[in-house]
Amino acid sequence: MAEEKGGLVFHPMDQFIVKPLFGDGAIGMFTVTNMTLWLALAAICTIGLMVIGTSGRAVIPGRAQSIAELAYGFVYKMVEDVTGKDGIKYFPYIFTLFIFILFSNFLALIPMSFSPTSHIAVTAILGFGVFFVVTAIGFIKNGVGFLGLFWVASAPLALRPVLALIEVISYFVRPVSHSIRLAGNVMAGHAVLKVFAGFAALTAVAPLSILGVMAIYGLEVLVSAIQAYVFTILTCVYLKDALHPSH
Amino acid sequence: MATETTGAVSSCVDSHGSAIGMPQLCFEWFPNQIFWLVLTLVVIFLVLSRIALPRIAAVLAERQGTISNDIAAAEALRNKVADAEDAYNKALADARAEAQNIVASAKADIQADLDVAIAKADAEISAKAAESEKAIAEIRAGALASVEEVAKDTAAEIVSALGGKASAKVVGAAVAARLKG
């Protein structure tokens, strides 16, 4: 990606490099890195909003408590609407995913920051985590009946094996699309921002480039919230399939 | 991991500190990334499920309770207002009826007083009338007596003027006879 021509330097992917925070040795499993810092900031923001923000327990909420209650109500209603009453007990897990992705995405929009959700390693853990947990719930709740998810009883008998094959493939593609959608969106947005910013070095196109950065930044703000929402609602949909496998 | 390091830091970063390919696909960072991610998620999950979410649920339930209590209280107050209005209207109607009664009884009293006064006045008037009649009768009687006297005197005078000589007794008898006749 690196291209050097008369001061015009593009390193759009450098922002995603994981670096040790202290010193510059190799990165072992427990090395504190820039990603550790931004994950910790996401956790601190979560605690700040959800714990410190609600510490007043006011009947008439203040600003922080209002936002916390709004987030709670938003995800709670989503879980209830999509999965039904029996999905409510998984609400804390889904809320954890939502608030983590939301804060990671928004914190990543701070200039010079690091975006954990742009990394496949992160989103794959989230996506495959959802996949394995949901599949396990499906088998525990429904036993072998969970396989009915792949056997479309309403289709003609001759079509059912074909449909079953398609259903199985689509089921196993779910975690891949689930995780790559999030990482792809965040990574692409940040890379495009960096490319536009790189063009600002050319005086002739600098105004256009800055306008472009502003526009893409606005788009990225939207994408941050929407991707958190999409990830969460898809988790709810998968959970609904596990709880009620019949079509 | 460290043994695979090439160049400046690792196989994913070149000697200028720039990324080689996509940093997202640098597998030697994966254990580190996964470790910190899982740690973060566990921390967030524990904090949310132990502290934040129950607290918010309690606050929302409390608010719901407060709102329904307030609505119930407002309903009760409204009923009370309706009752009070009914009582007020009833009291007003009662007061009106009582006033009507008082007016009617006052009227009756006044009528009775008036009747008594009229009767008294009538009695007084008739008494006065009787008295007057008596007085008139007396006067009339007095007048008759005077007429007899005058007649006697006149008769005596006339008799003496005619050159007769009449005793008072004879004249009196003659006048009395005349007057009777």
Shortest distance, CA B59 to any CA of chain A (angstroms) = 6
For residues A148 and A242, the answer to whether their CB atoms sit within 8 Å is no
**Residue A69 DSSP SS3:** helix
| Stretch (H or E) spanning A3 | strand A3-5
Query: What is the reported pLDDT for B8?
Result: 46
CB neighbours (10 Å) of residue A223?
19
ipTM for this model = 0.88
For B111, other C-beta atoms within 10 Å of its C-beta total 10
pLDDT of residue A2: 43
The pLDDT value recorded for residue A247 is 60
Q: Which residues does residue B13 pair with via DSSP β-bridges, in sequence order? A: B10, B19
Separation CA A116–CA A101 (nearest Å): 9
Chain B residues with CB-CB distance to A61 below 8 A: 59
Q: How far apart are CA A38 and CA A163, in angstroms?
A: 44
What does the mean pLDDT of chain B come to? Answer: 87
What pLDDT does residue B153 have?
85
pLDDT tens for B170-179 read 888 888 887 7
Of A16, A24, A61, the CB nearest to B9: A24
Looking up tokens 């992917």 gives A13
Please state the three-class secondary structure of B77-100 as a single string.
HHHHHHHHHHHHHHHHHHHHHHHH
Å between A219 CA and nearest CA of chain B: 22
Strand partners, A9: A4
Number of neighbours of residue B109 by Cβ within 10 angstroms: 10
Which pLDDT does position A93 carry in this prediction? 95
Q: Which residues of A touch B28 (CB under 8 A)?
A: 27
Would you say B32 and A28 are in contact if contact means Cβ atoms under 8 Å apart?
yes
For chain B, percent helix, then strand, then coil, each to nearest 5?
A: 85, 0, 15
User: In the block, which residue shows the tokens 């969106």?
Assistant: A185
How far apart, in Å, are the Cα atoms of A213 and each of A210, B70, B96?
5, 51, 83
Greatest Cα-to-Cα distance within chain B, rounded to the nearest angstrom? 204
Closest partner residue to B28 (CB to CB) among A27, A42, A122 is A27
- Which chain B residues are closer than 8 Å to A59 by Cβ? 59, 62-63, 66
Query: Does B52 contact A100 at a Cβ distance shorter than 8 Å?
Result: no
- For residue A57, the 8-state DSSP code is -
Asked if A167 and A156 touch (Cβ cutoff 8 Å), the reply is no
Query: Which structural domain, as residue segments, surrounds residue A107?
Result: 3-243
- The residues, any chain, with a CB within 8 Å of residue A21's CB and separated by 6 or more, are A32, A33, A34, A36, A37
Total structural domains within chain A: 1
**Cβ neighbours, 10 Å, residue B40:** 24
Q: Tens-digit pLDDT profile for chain A (247 aa)?
A: 444 444 566 788 888 888 888 877 778 888 889 999 999 999 999 999 999 999 888 888 889 999 999 999 999 999 999 998 989 999 999 999 999 999 999 999 998 899 999 999 999 999 999 999 999 999 999 888 888 888 888 888 888 889 999 999 999 999 999 999 999 999 999 999 988 888 888 888 889 999 999 999 999 999 999 999 999 999 999 999 999 887 6
Contact between residue A195 and residue A12 where contact means Cβ atoms under 8 Å apart:
yes
| Interchain contact, A59 vs B62, CB within 8 Å | yes
For residue B7, what pLDDT is reported? 41
A151 in Cβ contact with B56 (< 8 Å)? no
CB neighbourhood size of A188 (10 A): 14
- Consecutive 10-residue averages of pLDDT for chain B (181 residues): 44 79 84 93 95 93 93 96 96 96 95 95 94 93 86 84 79 80 66
DSSP A185-222: HHHHHHHHHHHHHHHTTSTTTHHHHHHHHHHHHHHHHH
Task: Locate the chain B residue with the closest alpha carbon to A58.
Answer: B59
| Number of residues that make up chain B | 181
